[in-house]
Chain A
């Protein structure tokens, strides 16, 4: 089954404690991205990757890092989480090309206290 898998689904952490949210896709997609979803703001892109070892900032990259060492994996790293990073995070993947369908993971609800 084609899918994007994120882990964990829920996470509560304390300010400043480094964490990683994993994302893996099994569709051999080149393009992967991370979004955060906040009430009234919709989804905003954090980082994206066009292929292995190629990553770039989205609209709200501050406080986040990513890596793309393998085509299937695209982890999101919060080196020093802060309460304003409390949000619902989604990983997505798609084939490269304008208008291709993006496939989303089920989301990770992160709370930073």
Chain B
């Protein structure tokens, strides 16, 4: 069965520092991978997605993610974090049709 693991429940970074959020997936075929962000009191917003092709994908708000098939990973990165990036981040894998299987989420705190 498909699954997604986000090993870090909480991460705290200083404003201006770089960020990497980890995501590992389990899926038998070529995965469709997503990163969503949930700001406090809001729904989920798509940051970026990977289907095929270039393994480094660019998203909104300055985020990027790299697909590494050998490591079953799809880590999210940002070179310089802003205070407004504080939110919960979810990695998800397309599990056939339109279904998404989500990881448990990583809460990002940004300290000034």
Contact = CB atoms under 8 A, between A and B. Distances in A.
Interface of A: 4, 31, 33, 35, 40-45, 48, 50, 58, 90, 92, 94, 96-102, 104-107
A48 B105 contact: no
Chain B contact-residue range equals 20 to 34
A99 B100 CA distance: 9
Interface in B89-112: 90, 94, 96-100, 102-105
A42 B43 contact: no
Interface of B: 4, 6, 9, 32, 36, 41-46, 49, 51, 90, 94, 96-100, 102-105
Given A31-B98, A96-B98, A106 B46 contact: no
A42 B99 contact: no
A35 B46 CA distance: 16
A70 to B, nearest CB: 19
Nearest to A30: B98
B43 A107 contact: yes
Contact of A102 (B6, B100, B103): B100
A45 B99 contact: yes
B98 A42 contact: no
Contacts of B103: 42
A48 B104 contact: no
Contacts of B44: 43, 90, 92, 102, 104
A45 B46 contact: no
A109 B2 CA distance: 27
A41 B104 contact: yes
B98 A97 contact: yes
Nearest to A109: B41
Given A42-B103, A43-B90, A101 B98 contact: no
